[in-house]
Each structure stands twice: as C-alpha cells, then as structure tokens.
Amino acid sequence: MQHPVINQQLCAQLKPLHLANPQPLTEVEQQYSAFYGIDFDTENPEINHNMGYFDSIHYRVACHYYWKDSNQGTAFVVHGYYDHVGLYGNLIKFLLDQHLNVVCFDLPGHGLSSGNRACIADFTDYVTALKQCINIATNSTPNPWFLLGQSTGGAVIADYLLTEKFTPNNCPFSKVVLFAPLIRPKNWGMIELAHRFLGSLLSNVKRSFAPNSHDEAFLHFVKHQDPLQPSHSSVKWLGALREWIKRIEHMPSSSLSPIIIQGKDDQTVDWQYNIPVLQKLFSNPTVFYLPSAKHHLVNESSSIRTEYFDYLKDILFTTSHTERFG
C-alpha cells in the first residue's frame, strides 16, 4: 500500500539522532506518528518525542526517543520480524505510563531503516544495531534501564546479553523482558529442509499473513493498511536464522535471569522447544505463561495485554520477581 507521507521522502529527510540535544519533529514526522498512533506527545504535554537515525555498519537505522523531564528510568524496545516502531504504540504507551522514557528503533531492513526489506545476511547485524543504540543512549538517558523485545527482538536481546557476557553485577539493565522470544520458529524441521533444497533457487517467497493475534483490527491493519509491511519473506533471512540457531544454542550460559512472557496458543515460534533452550542459556528465568495468547503479544487483545501489563507493573521496579507457571 502506498501512503503520501510514509515513503522514501520520509526516510531521506530523517536527521541524525542526538539524544542529548533532541530536535522537534518535522511536519512529515508528525504525520507519520499520527498515522500509526504513536504521537503521544500530542496527547500529553509532558511527553516529548524525537526521531532521527544513527549509523550501524552500512545501515541507516531509524530511532525514536520519548521522554519526560520527570521519569523513573529508560526502557529500550526491540521489535520483531516484519514489524517496526509504528506498530508498538501499546507497549510504548504502557512504558510511558510507568514514567519511563522510551528508546526504540527499526531493525535494519524494517520500517524506516535502510536495508533490503525483511532481509539480513547475519543476525549479528541486528545485535550490532542494538549495541550502537545503547552506546548512543549512554550518558544521555536516565537510569535505571530496562530492555524489552518481541520475538526476533527477544532473540537479538538474548544474543546481545550472551555475547557481552554480562553478570548481575555489571549488566546495565535492571530488568530484561522477552515477549514470545524466537529461537526456532514453528515447524522448523520442514522450513529448514525446504531451505536446504530451494535456498539456492529462490531469493524470496510471497508472504502469508498469519493470524498471530486475537486483535482483528491489528491483523487487518497489518495486512491491508500498513505501507511499511514487507510483501515477501527473504530466503536469505532464513539462512541467517539457520546459522544463528546453531550459534546461539551453543553459547556459554549466563547468570542473568530475564523475564519471559509466552502465549500457549503461539503458532509462530516453537515455544515448547524455545523455553527449555532459554532456561539452559540463562539462570532460572521467570516464565509468565498466557494460556490463550497467540504470538504477537505486543498487539494481542486488550484483555491479554492487561493481564501481562498488570504483571509487569508489579515486577519492573522490584529487586526480585517470582516465577509463575501456568
């Protein structure tokens, strides 16, 4: 779908991001924010919104910063495959309501960031973008810090934490939350077999839009109205995922204990396989199960979001959190 504002002109006019000296949004950026309903600065005069780009490897990465002068820390958000910041208004608003500033960026190949659509040669490119975002935010955003990721975003965060070899004593994040984190997708055996035989013959395949949420309005918007949605799946991305899975599963374990929020009706990732892998990679992670939730937890139904948002309210600012297994 074409859109008069959300196009190459918007991407080209993004300014370099300066968190220490944020600039007001341009008219085009305001229209983009209004279209996706992430213009929280127009609803609340205490909220400020800045967007721009930072460089990561050969990518120009689009990034947003929401802040209040009165705050209780900063949350970093990493979205999932096919997604972009514009779709994460539910989570951004929740975090702002908890008096947290919010930093969120479009992964390379997604949203307003550069790169081939929904494609990556190596998952480390995603991790590098996250590291660069965090480096830019250092000394410019208030503590404590929180790190949250959905699906592929959760995979990127897990990789980052393991690669950096953080311990509870030196991890810069007070809490880490992984929503339906990716290790293997559902039916990975068949997907991997198809990639082995067809990967050299195809560059992409037409995308199917899975019913990964109970929110019908969200599903309709993504399929029919979102101009930033990729129309195809990248075969190269699957190859990068295949190599990443082999690497992540053999990384040294961490003493960190992230919070995992997982729906039991998730038909996108193989959560029955993924949760035990993450329990081996991390030290006794908390797992909060949602019995009826599908995959896209950030855009699940209002009742499901309320359930896990209420849980997060209870544990984000505590020094410890208890496990819940459902």
User: What domains lie within the chain, and their CATH numbers?
Assistant: 69-315 (3.40.50.1820)
Tokens of 188: 């990975």
For the chain, what is the mean pLDDT?
A: 93
Q: Are 127 and 266 in contact (CB under 8 A)?
A: no
pLDDT score of 206: 83
Q: Contact 169/90 with Cβ under 8 angstroms?
A: no
Report CA torsion sign: 114, 74, 148, 227.
Answer: negative
Q: For the stretch 158-195, what's the b/e string if a residue is b when 16 or more beta carbons lie within 10 angstroms of its beta carbon?
A: bbbbbbeebeeeebebbbbbbbbbbbbbbebeeebeeb
Cβ atoms of residues 103 and 133 within 8 Å? yes
Instruction: Give which of 92, 110, 278 is closest to 182, Cα–Cα.
Output: 278
Rounded distance, CA 68 to CA 256, Å? 29
Does position 319 have pLDDT exceeding 80, yes or no? no
Predicted confidence at residue 323, as pLDDT, reads: 40
Question: With helix as H, strand as E and coil as C, how does 227-257 read?
Answer: CCCCCEEEHHHHHHHHHHHHHHCCCCCCCCC
Indicate the DSSP class of residue 185: B
User: Which token pair is 216?
Assistant: 């019908």
The string of pLDDT tens digits covering residues 28-83 is 999 999 999 999 999 999 999 999 999 999 999 999 999 999 999 999 999 999 99
Q: How many residues does the chain have?
A: 326
Nearest to 181 by CA among 274, 312, 298, 83: 274
Residue 321 is predicted with a pLDDT of 46
- Distance of alpha carbon 317 from alpha carbon 185, whole angstroms: 32
C-alpha 308/C-alpha 102 separation (Å) is 19
User: Which tens digit of pLDDT belongs to each residue from 120-166?
Assistant: 999 999 999 999 999 999 999 999 999 999 999 999 999 999 999 99
Please, is 206 exposed, middle or buried when counting C-beta atoms within 10 Å of its C-beta (0-12, 13-18, 19+)? Answer: exposed
